């Protein structure tokens, strides 16, 4: 394989990356079917794609799919700590995909990698957190007219892009993959639920049974974390700012209280809000000795680490991904993975089984925007329902699950208004 442009840790890790990418591929039958079709139909022929995603085994399978569809892909990391270095090596050495990502890269390198991906003059952007779109709008406005469309993977990114649209500054159309039901109902809920606890456990090896675990935010991710933590025997407390979500958490059987109160009683804290300063130094002052703080939201702003650092008399690394902050009275709190996404930093992100649907949405959304090029305004669009439904149908079929079909009489009944009791 000819070497492509890249900046990865060590190409010598490629063989291990290939084995792990193939392992994930076994759990991604929908994406495999799309890849087989893309190989024949080449819907992305010659299109330059800049993808800014977590560089995982699942992402590698998406990149292979885009390449099979004819795209020229450049991939960079969407988080400095989420890259799997063996996967990055395999993408370059085995699959011929330009990759710019190194686990633990500093902020300057992170942005240099985004720049490198944008140097390819993308016609399609694919984001997880909107960093490429934001970079192009802020630093490369002259390239915006070259972009046909973009896709966005995550809740945080969609929020940023809707803000850009509202200001009237969004310069090309976006498909909000996160809004597909086959994405957020599964990836955000079951994927985040499992992988977040996986990250907390791998980082700390603490027993969750019997522990008071506070989940901040009861969106789809928070729901998943709370549900799975309960299943492992934790006593789950939820904090919220939205009365409807708070009520839902109460009726799902969780204790709901303010973070100020939760800080006094919680033993493990997991933020999943998408907002900043959810846990601050002031909260930490109320915490019990040994409290563990982790974040599973997109950015590392949910736990205000600078304000915790200010109050600490000393800090030290006690395990990989675990930093101890000792307060002046001797109490200690432990912050995991620098407050970055715990599931992708200390574990491997969501399992391939759910990423199959998320990335099927990415692949089909890319095909869709190319097929319908020129038909969109500069707005944030949902994934078309027929694509969402097709992915659900395909996923069920790969699980050997059949469902019922409406009879003609039932179809008629559902479209009538005059038949009552
Ligand atoms: N986001 C969450 N889990 C992921 C994974 N396994 N791969 C890519 N992006 C992810």
Backbone CA torsion sign across 177, 181, 182, 183: positive
Q: Angle, to 10 degrees, between the axis of helix 85-93 and the axis of helix 57-68?
A: 20
Look at residue 3 in the predicted model and tell me its pLDDT: 78
Domain 189-345 part of CATH 3.90.1150.10? no
* CA-based nearest residue to 24, from 345, 323, 348: 348
Indicate the CATH number for domain 6-183+351-398.
3.40.50.1480
Q: Which of 17, 21, 27, 59 to mutate to test the pocket of ligand 1 (most atoms within 8 A of CB)?
A: 59
Cβ of 67 closer than 6 Å to ligand 1, yes or no, is: no
Look at residue 421 in the predicted model and tell me its pLDDT: 79
What is the chain's pLDDT, residue by residue, as a tens digit (421 residues)?
Answer: 557 999 999 999 999 999 999 999 999 999 999 999 999 999 999 999 999 999 999 999 999 999 999 999 999 999 999 999 999 999 999 999 999 999 999 999 999 999 999 999 999 999 999 999 999 999 999 999 999 999 999 999 999 999 999 999 999 999 999 999 999 999 999 999 999 999 999 999 999 999 999 999 999 999 999 999 999 999 999 999 999 999 999 999 999 999 999 999 999 999 999 999 999 999 999 999 999 999 999 999 999 999 999 999 999 999 999 999 999 999 999 999 999 999 999 999 999 999 999 999 999 999 999 999 999 999 999 999 999 999 999 999 999 999 999 999 999 999 999 888 7
CA of 349 to the centre of ligand 1 (A): 5
* CA-based nearest residue to 180, from 387, 34, 349: 387
Q: Please check whether residue 20 is in contact with residue 84, taking contact to mean a CB–CB distance below 8 angstroms.
A: yes
How far is residue 41's CA from residue 65's CA, in Å, rounded to a whole number? 12
pTM score = 0.96
Domain ranges for the chain: 6-183+351-398, 189-345
Rounded to a whole number of angstroms, the distance between the first and last alpha carbons of the chain is 69
- 10 Å CB burial of residue 306 (0-12, 13-18, 19+) is exposed
> CA triplet 179, 183, 188: central angle to 5 degrees?
95
Look at residue 419 in the predicted model and tell me its pLDDT: 84
Cβ of 56 closer than 6 Å to ligand 1, yes or no, is: yes
How far is residue 162's CA from residue 241's CA, in Å, rounded to a whole number? 21
CA of 54 to the centre of ligand 1 (A): 6
Q: For the beta carbon of residue 61, count every other beta carbon within 10 angstroms.
A: 25
Check if 6-183+351-398 and 189-345 are the same fold. Answer: yes
What residues contact residue 416 under an 8 Å CB cut-off, 6+ apart?
none
Look at residue 2 in the predicted model and tell me its pLDDT: 55
Three-state SS at 265: helix
Look at residue 170 in the predicted model and tell me its pLDDT: 97
Which helix (H) or strand (E) covers residue 335, if one does?
strand 332-336
Cβ of 58 closer than 6 Å to ligand 1, yes or no, is: yes
């Amino acid at each position: 394989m000819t070497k492509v442009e890249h900046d990865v840790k060590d190409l010598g890790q490629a063989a291990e990356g290939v084995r792990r990418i193939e392992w994930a591929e076994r759990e991604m039958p929908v994406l495999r079917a799309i890849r087989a079709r893309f190989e024949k139909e080449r819907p992305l022929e010659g299109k330059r794609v800049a993808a800014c995603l977590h560089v995982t085994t699942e992402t590698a399978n998406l990149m292979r799919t885009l390449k099979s569809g004819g795209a020229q892909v450049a991939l960079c990391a969407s988080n400095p700590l989420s890259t799997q270095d063996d996967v990055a090596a395999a993408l370059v050495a085995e699959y011929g995909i330009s990759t710019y990502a190194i686990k633990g890269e500093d902020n300057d390198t992170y942005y240099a990698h985004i720049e490198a991906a944008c140097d390819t003059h993308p016609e399609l952007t694919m984001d997880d957190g909107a960093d490429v779109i934001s970079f192009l709008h802020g630093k490369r406005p002259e390239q915006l007219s070259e972009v046909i469309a973009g896709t966005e993977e995550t809740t945080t990114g969609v929020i940023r892009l809707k803000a850009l649209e509202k200001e009237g500054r969004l310069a090309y159309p976006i498909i909000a993959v996160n809004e597909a039901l086959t994405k957020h109902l599964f990836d955000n809920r079951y994927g985040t639920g499992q992988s977040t606890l996986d990250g907390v456990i791998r980082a700390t090896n603490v027993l969750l049974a019997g522990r008071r675990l506070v989940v901040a935010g009861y969106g789809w991710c928070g729901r998943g974390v709370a549900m799975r933590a309960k299943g492992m025997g934790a006593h789950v407390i939820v904090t919220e700012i939205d009365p409807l979500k708070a009520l839902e958490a109460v009726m799902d059987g969780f204790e709901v209280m303010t973070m100020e109160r939760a800080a006094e009683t919680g033993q493990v804290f997991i933020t999943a809000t998408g907002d900043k300063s959810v846990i601050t130094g002031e909260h930490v002052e109320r915490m019990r000795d040994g409290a563990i703080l982790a974040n599973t939201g997109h950015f590392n702003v949910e736990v205000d680490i600078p304000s915790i650092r200010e109050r600490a008399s000393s800090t030290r690394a006690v395990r990989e991904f675990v930093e101890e902050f000792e307060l002046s009275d001797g109490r200690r709190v432990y912050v995991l993975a620098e407050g970055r996404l715990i599931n992708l930093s200390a574990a491997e992100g969501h399992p391939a089984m759910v990423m199959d649907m998320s990335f099927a949405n990415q692949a089909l959304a890319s095909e869709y925007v190319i097929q319908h090029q020129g038909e969109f305004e500069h707005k944030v669009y949902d994934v078309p329902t027929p694509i969402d439904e097709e992915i659900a149908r395909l996923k069920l079929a790969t699980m050997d699950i059949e469902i019922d079909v409406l009879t003609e009489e039932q179809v008629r009944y559902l479209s009538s208004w005059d038949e009552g009791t």
